[in-house]
Chain A
Amino acid sequence: MSVTSPVSQAAELDPLLLRAAMGDRAAFADLYRRTAPRLLGVCVRMLADRREAEEVLQEAYVAVWQRAKTFDPARASAMTWLIALARNKAIDRLRQHRSVAGDFATELESIPDEDSIPAVRVERGEEYRRLEQCMEQLQPKQRGCIREAFFSGLTYNALAERAQVPLGTLKSWIRRGLLQLRACLET
């Protein structure tokens, strides 16, 4: 798979998804080839199980074909739409058959932030840099909770248990963090 910059990638993916929405199977196959590694990376991170992640990936692309007509390029890029759909499938899977508490002994403080994850993807888009700048402005606890919530797909309850803080405290960290992020990103 060739390395493409986020901008040119977006420019190529949107038409592919729009063509898939019109029933173009070749465009859908091309879309899969270009985007599946990225989506599987997300699924593996969330489900921590390669086989299950591939099952979810399969479900996700079946849903991509079925729901392609609902893709609106004015609202989000194809890549954003695809990742959001794959994450939703992964979260649904987590809700279906995992006991949320107890599976994870890890405490919030010990969860690695992005600096300890090998930077395999060298290129990061402008949107990522903006989001990171805004994340930096949050309190460390807010930042940690939001990042952990995003990548684990855990519920408020499970996150609170994991972080060993009262549910209300965790909720308010995350909610305030989200509102601050929104305000920061809108400026």
Chain B
Amino acid sequence: MSTSFEDDQNNLRYAEYVLGVLDADARAAVAHEIATSDEAAAAVALWQRRLMPLTELLPEVAPSAGVWPRIRQALGWDVRRESRSVGFWGTARPWQWISLGATAVAVFCLVMLLRAPVGGIPGAGHIALMVSSIRQDNGVTDWTATMDLDRKQIVVVPASFPAVPIGRSTQLWLIPAGKAPISVGVFAAANTTVLPLSKELLAQLGPTAALAVSYEPPGGSPTGQPTGMVIAKGAISGAAT
């Protein structure tokens, strides 16, 4: 164990960070170190292990019922097809039934849609939804997209928190089987985004098409075709649940 004065001074900063006595600027400096230096992260984790047991003497406080729904909302989880993961909420059961009903209706509409000639859009009064999980190669779902054919719009919801490089936009593409990608639009990676679906896009939606997301210059690809790395892809399959 090294206990030189300098090591102690450096290690003390991490202790002070964990204890919570540093001012905002000094805290930010240590937080930056943690993010960039494994050694700093390890030293801070060690101090956390040493000091966090102090909290064991505090009484627990049950959160109000509204906190969890707000967390879900902040994470962008509260869209129709996510009702399955509600889990322990008392509302799970009715939701599951509603969800099951919605699935049946959506599958029916999808079947009707697929039987119609390509480009056929159901008339008013029909519900027609398609969904896609836009995933990285490692299987992590970055976004879910729900296509509402009646409203002619696509809703893109972040499922994880993909780190988009600074100065890059995320652009959504529709790739019909064997054809060139068509831009759906630039969207905010970390927020729910609603984009309009043009006639051209609607005509190409279906189980043989796919969605893809690429990094592009701010504002989107200057060429009309993807110019940056494709970070995630998703098949358009089935209907919303």
Contacts and interface: CB of A to CB of B under 8 A. Distances in A.
A40 B85 contact: no
B137 interface: no
Contact of B45 (A76, A96, A127): A76
A174 B59 contact: no
Contacts of B24: 92, 95-96
Nearest to A51: B64
Interface string A119-136: 111001101101100000
Contact of A58 (B48, B51, B74): B74
A146 B1 contact: no
A95 B27 contact: yes
Nearest to B35: A70
| Size bracket, chain B contacts | 35 or more
B75 A128 contact: no
B154 interface: no
A33 B41 CA distance: 28
B71 A62 contact: yes
B6 interface: no
A77 to B, nearest CB: 8
A152 B20 CA distance: 8
B42 interface: yes
Nearest to A80: B52
Contacts of A32: 68, 71
Contacts of B1: 186
A11 interface: no
A65 B72 CA distance: 10
A26 B59 contact: no
A12 to B, nearest CB: 15
B68 A155 contact: no
Contacts of A91: 20, 27
A41 B55 CA distance: 9
A41 B42 CA distance: 26
A61 B71 CA distance: 7
A178 B61 contact: no
Interface in B19-46: 19-24, 27, 41-42, 45-46
B140 interface: yes
B88 A182 contact: no
Contacts of B58: 41-42, 45, 117, 121
B161 interface: yes
A179 B16 CA distance: 11
Given A125-B53, A155-B23, 14 more contacts: A26-B87, A36-B63, A61-B71, A95-B27, A120-B60, A124-B56, A131-B53, A149-B19, A150-B20, A156-B22, A157-B23, A178-B19, A179-B12, A182-B11
30 contacts: A22-B140, A23-B159, A26-B87, A29-B85, A36-B68, A37-B61, A38-B60, A40-B60, A41-B58, A44-B61, A50-B61, A58-B71, A62-B71, A76-B52, A84-B48, A87-B55, A91-B27, A92-B24, A95-B24, A95-B27, A119-B57, A121-B57, A121-B59, A130-B53, A131-B50, A131-B54, A150-B20, A178-B15, A179-B8, A185-B50
